[in-house]
Structure 1
């Protein structure tokens, strides 16, 4: 006899195929209840296989109850779906309200998987040091790897009189550990042909980014959890209230995490604004969504908000460049 979970999935698969015999019907259910196109979930060719993969996809993301409840509501004559949906009835809260999916655009994340992704994001971020910290923290910034030896930061981080390429140091793994001690980190210098591509400040009509080639492929460093790696630029339709995570070196301090939310999706055609905290030295930091995808490049602080350049716009810019290495960075993640 199959285990209860396997038995449930088999019954649900049969109920979905019976209640939604055509692909178009199932496609509408998925978009209405999950908010994701069915083709992003499965490309299977027959209805049983499509239902099987759909159940696995929603189950892995903690969204199976939404699928079952939505299907039962759409097909009230299906006694099978109705019976299956009853297995997801939870006790009412003390105030008499049921739990709700409040933000459809912020799905549940698997905690262990999210923690692994976060750790990989941390090690890709560095402090940009134009001179030794014991001299001054003037013009310090942040940056992050987008390829083994390519770093993304702000144009204004490199566009000043204090920028001397032979003096600049990039310091990875500069953090305060669980023992309260600051790690010195791993340092790297610029390559001889260090300037790969830039875009001027937003106030000058650009995107305020700089792509720099490092003297070593830091992204290939072996670490205890595997290769250091690098981060890709993602496209995201921003909505007010979405969470924003920024890994940064504020005021030239060891790596910090700031958490906030989107405040304005279009303060300018190329920017998004948020209320996550930043300080001088945070310029060039990656801005992440709840799935820890890079969706913006932080670059600006205002009186009551901060701003980043949308990663989508940077990708569009790079896609139009002549250099193959820059076009490669614009490829979808």
Structure 2
């Protein structure tokens, strides 16, 4: 285009890309239609096909299977509220040029605390993302009056991944717009397994058609075909809907909408639409993961961290390693920070000390590679963990899978296993973060050791890990950047009034962390943090309270846990400060 402006060039390129996508989608649809022409669609799904599909259905939705088999159109009234909840995370994307000129609209949706998903043909590079906006609440209320919308800038320098073939883009979003937090809008959890939707079922799409107010097409949108990477369905969408989430009846995201399929006999009409399967995007991210930096890896791990249940058990490999595996485990090193900076393991008070699990050899401390754990009999979880981080010698290792181990040195009756995490919204939360002890010549072993049930604590899926995760990222990245050595103690707060679940498990509502470093002036710094949702977990199906992370005095952690950290409180910048706690919004809030 002669003498075309950058904006005109961009719009021409995007139009050509959209035409190419539409043409490819039409060819795929016609090919599948030809292959299956005359084949009668059976609703008698085989047990294997139905296994994953059943696993993501709420136990209390008794009509769900009838809907899947097209024998009923009845929904519990809660279906509508669940749809409204899902819609909070969907936003309008205003694609803008460097000069601020509006170029086009698209749709996007949050898929983690930090990351938004849309199409590659909506945001195809970091520059396009840099000047674009994600606008939430762009919708009418029940009086058909506009709600107060909120726009957030995108942050592609922090995270940006895109792929033209699968037509998706993942980009970080800035956390605050004026005084509004991004976390207020939640996110849609992505499940990587296939089988979340079946041919003949119906899907719903929440979208911003033509860049207008948020709208939804509800269910009467039949899935015609499933292929390796794509899903074809009949529904009502318009330009501007690119990047919308496609949901099954449980409001689980099954695809990323990206193209309409025109009628080959009349290009002004549309016969179907195509979406990119979430399972294919997840597979791409898993393959890409080991080529990312530490921060990006943590964001991808958070994104792909959702569980799925089969029958009554979480899909996860569980086994035991031989006792020889542990024979040379170094455990936590109290002399790790250097001469004159000994940091012993904390001691439990008398009552809690009587509740410690002992190994067959009588030892109360379970040593792993670069970290140690002390377990509680009554809670079947760790009282606390203690780990060493060596920033100078840390090694980037990808997550090898999701295999979890029982520790054979203690009885299984003192280790909460898969039965705690089955058919609910609990995640298995690492206490010693997987990347922390991964350093030195035995980094592989340390990586594997973090996947023990002894290092696991139940956390509700809606736990707001954003600030907690940023805190852990901050500790790890600074240890690497400055070749620092760091000691980290972590654990849950056990309270007598913690919620009892399934008549045997008490679910902690609070978690704590104590971080010890040697400062530039050759003095110790011991800082403590508390993440709390106290009194907000009341029912696992309806626990949506926000966690807050606070910096608190070490002495407060001692009071809450019955631990004695000895002289560490003397090196605490919070010691003697009048305020009991400070909310941690980011690294700048931390007092060293």
Q: Which moved more, 1:148-157 or 1:181-190?
A: 181-190
Matching residue of 1:295 = 254
1:265 aligns with 2:254: no
Structure having the larger proportion of residues in helix: 1
Within the candidate set 95, 99, 110, 2:76 is matched to 110
Aligned partners of 1:222 and 1:153: how far apart in 2?
21
Mapped contact 1:109–1:291 kept (Cα < 8 A): no
In the alignment, is residue 278 of structure 1 matched against residue 237 of structure 2?
A: yes
CA distance in 2, matches of 1:192, 1:275: 34
- State the Cα deviation string for residues 148-200 of structure 1 (Å, max 9, x = none): 22101111101289x64443111001101111212241110012615421111
Name the residue aligned to 2:113. Answer: 148
Cα–Cα, structure 1 residues 314 and 217, in superposed 2: closer, same or farther, change >3 Å? farther
Question: Structure 2-normalised TM-score?
Answer: 0.36
Equivalenced residue count is 236
**1:330 maps to which residue?**
304
User: 2:209 is matched with which residue: 245, 250, 256?
Assistant: 250
Quote how far apart the aligned CAs of 1:228 are.
2.7
The residue number in structure 1 matching 2:87 is 122
Give the equivalent residue in structure 1 for 2:506.
Answer: none
1:160 and 1:199 map into 2 onto residues whose CA distance is: 10
Q: Which runs of structure 2 are paired with 1:1-333 in the superposition (5 Å)? A: 60-62=60-62, 101=66, 103-104=68-69, 109-112=75-78, 114-131=79-96, 138-159=103-124, 164-191=128-155, 193-200=157-164, 206-216=165-175, 227-234=184-191, 235-237=193-195, 238-259=197-218, 260-266=220-226, 268-303=227-262, 304-320=271-287, 321-322=289-290, 323=292, 324=297, 325-333=299-307
Structure 2 unmatched runs, 5+: 1-45, 263-270, 308-592
Counterpart secondary structure, 1:243: coil
1:232/1:248 Cα in 2 relative to 1: closer, same or farther (>3 Å)?
same
Give deviations 1:130-151, integer Å, cap 9, x for gaps.
139xx98643100000112210
Partner of 2:530: none
Alignment partners' CA distance in 1, 2:242 and 2:71: 26
Q: For residues 217 and 273 of structure 1, what CA distance do their matches in structure 2 show?
A: 37
Q: SS of the residue aligned with 1:251?
A: helix
2:376 aligned partner? none
Q: Look up the SS of the partner of 1:314 in the other structure.
A: helix
Structure 2: distance between partners of 1:215 and 1:168:
12
Distance in 1 between residues matched to 2:62 and 2:207, nearest whole Å? 30
Whether the 8 Å contact between 2:96 and 2:132 is mirrored in structure 1 is yes
Deviations 1:45-99 (A, max 9, x none): xxxxxxxxxxxx86x33269x9xxxxxxxxxxxxxxxxxxxxxxxxxxxxxxxxx
Q: Distance in 2 between matches of 1:211 and 1:102?
A: 33
Q: How many angstroms does 1:269 deviate by?
A: 2.5
- Match of 2:221, SS state, is strand
Query: TM-score normalised to the size of structure 1?
Result: 0.61
* Bigger relative contact order (CA 8 A; separation at least 6): 1
Residue 193 of structure 1 aligns to a residue whose secondary structure is coil
Q: CA deviation at 1:273?
A: 0.6
CA separation of 1:255 and 1:102: change in aligned 2, threshold 3 A: closer
Contact 2:123/2:129 (<8 A) preserved: no
Secondary structure (helix, strand or coil) at the match of 1:297 reads strand
